[in-house]
A and B are shown apart, each in its own frame.
Chain A
Amino acid sequence: MRAILFSRPTAKLSLEALVRLLMLLAGVALLVIGLLFPLFAMLVKSLQGRSGDFIGLANFVQYFQTPALVNSITNSFRMALTTTVVVVGLAFLCAYGVTRTCMPGKRLFRMLAILPILAPSLLPAISLVYLFGNQGFLRELLMGHSVYGPIGIVIGMSFWIFPHALMLLTTALTHSDARLYEAADVLGTPKWRIFLTITLPGVRYGLISCLFVVFTLAITDFGVPKIIGGQFSVLATDVYRQVVGQQNFQMGAVVSVILLLPAVLSFMVDRWIQRRQVAQLSARAVPWQPTPSPLRDWLFALMCYAVAGVILLVIGTAIYASLLQFWPYNRTFTLQHYTFQGLAGGGWEAWLNSLKLAFSVALVGTLVIFFNAWLIEKSDGYQPLRQGLHLMAMLPMAVPGMVLGLAYIFFFNQAGNPFNWMYGTMAILVLNTLVHFYTVCHLTSVTALKQLDPEFEAVGASLKVPFWTTFRRVTLPVSLPAVLDISVYLFVNAMTTVSAVVFLYNSDTRLASVAVLHLDEAGYFASAAAMAVLIFLTSLGVKLLHAALTHALLNNAQRWRQAG
Chain B
Amino acid sequence: MQTTMTSPLTAHPAATSHSTSTHLSIDNVTKCFGSFTALDKITLEIQEGEFICFLGPSGCGKTTLLRTIAGLTRQSTGTLIQRGKDISRLPPQARDFGIVFQSYALFPNLTVFDNVAYGLRNRRINRVGIRSRVTELLALVDLGGSEDKYPAALSGGQQQRVALARALAMEPGLLLLDEPLSALDARVRTHLRSQIKALQARLGVTTIMVTHDQEEALTMADRIVVMNHGVIEQVGTPAEIYHQPASAFVASFIGTMNFLEVTAGTNHRVQLGSTHCDCQPHHYAQGLPIQLAIRPEAVALSRTQSELMGEVTGIEFLGAFQRVALRVQGTGQTLLADVPSRDSTALVLQLGQVLSIHFPADAARLYPAGSSQP
Contact = CB atoms under 8 A, between A and B. Distances in A.
- Is B a genuine binding partner of A? yes
A474 B169 CA distance: 18
Interface stretch (B89-97, B190-198, B222-230, B351-359): B89-97
A483 B317 CA distance: 58
Nearest to A479: B109
B152 A563 contact: yes
B70 A559 contact: no
Interface stretch (B98-106, B271-279, B293-301, B321-329): B98-106
Interface string B100-119: 01010101111100000011
Contact of B169 (A456, A463, A469, A560): A463
B152 A560 contact: yes
A261 to B, nearest CB: 36
B72 interface: yes
A9 interface: yes
Given A462-B70, A463-B122, A478 B105 contact: no
Given A465-B118, A469-B122, A564 B92 contact: no
A254 B226 CA distance: 66
A380 to B, nearest CB: 8
A187 B109 CA distance: 47
Interface string A10-47: 10011011000000000000000000000000000000
A474 B122 contact: no
Contact of B99 (A456, A458, A474, A561): A458
B98 A462 contact: yes
Contacts of A560: 108-111, 150-152
B122 A464 contact: yes
Nearest to B73: A380
Given A559-B150, A560-B152, A464 B170 contact: yes
The main secondary structure of chain A at its interface with chain B is helix
Nearest to A477: B109
B94 A9 contact: yes
A453 B178 CA distance: 14
Contacts of A469: 122
Interface residues of A, number: 30
A13 B87 CA distance: 14
Contacts of A140: none
Given A16-B93, A560-B108, A453 B103 contact: yes
A564 to B, nearest CB: 4
A458 B72 contact: yes
B109 A463 contact: no
B145 to A, nearest CB: 16
B94 A558 contact: no
Given A461-B93, A463-B166, A563 B153 contact: yes
Interface string A310-347: 00000000000000000000000000000000000000
Interface string B148-191: 01111110000000000011011010000000000000000000
Contacts of B122: 463-466, 469
Given A465-B122, A559-B150, A561-B152, A474 B110 contact: yes
A16 B93 CA distance: 10
Contacts of A53: none
A357 to B, nearest CB: 32
A276 interface: no
A435 B92 CA distance: 35
B94 A478 contact: no
The main secondary structure of chain B at its interface with chain A is loop
Nearest to B154: A564
A463 B111 CA distance: 17
Contacts of A561: 108, 152
Given A453-B105, A455-B101, A564-B153, A462 B91 contact: no
Contacts of B123: 464
A193 interface: no
A456 B152 contact: no
A458 B93 contact: no
Given A453-B103, A560-B152, A563-B150, A462 B109 contact: no
A560 to B, nearest CB: 4
A68 B107 CA distance: 62
Contacts of B170: 463-464
B152 A458 contact: no
B118 A558 contact: no
Contact of A459 (B71, B99, B150): B99
Nearest to A558: B109
Contact of B119 (A17, A465, A474): A465
Interface string A500-528: 00000000000000000000000000000
A314 B170 CA distance: 63
A456 B360 CA distance: 53
A461 B110 contact: no
Interface in A541-564: 558-564
A464 B93 contact: yes
24 contacts: A14-B91, A453-B103, A453-B105, A456-B105, A459-B107, A459-B166, A461-B72, A461-B93, A462-B97, A462-B172, A464-B119, A464-B122, A464-B123, A464-B170, A466-B122, A473-B110, A477-B109, A560-B108, A562-B152, A563-B150, A563-B151, A563-B153, A564-B152, A564-B154
Given A16-B91, A473-B107, 18 more contacts: A9-B94, A10-B90, A13-B90, A13-B93, A455-B101, A458-B72, A458-B92, A458-B101, A459-B101, A463-B166, A464-B119, A464-B170, A473-B118, A478-B109, A558-B109, A560-B150, A563-B150, A564-B153
Q: 9 closest Cβ contacts across the A-B interface? A: A463-B119, A564-B152, A455-B105, A563-B150, A560-B150, A563-B153, A461-B92, A563-B152, A455-B101
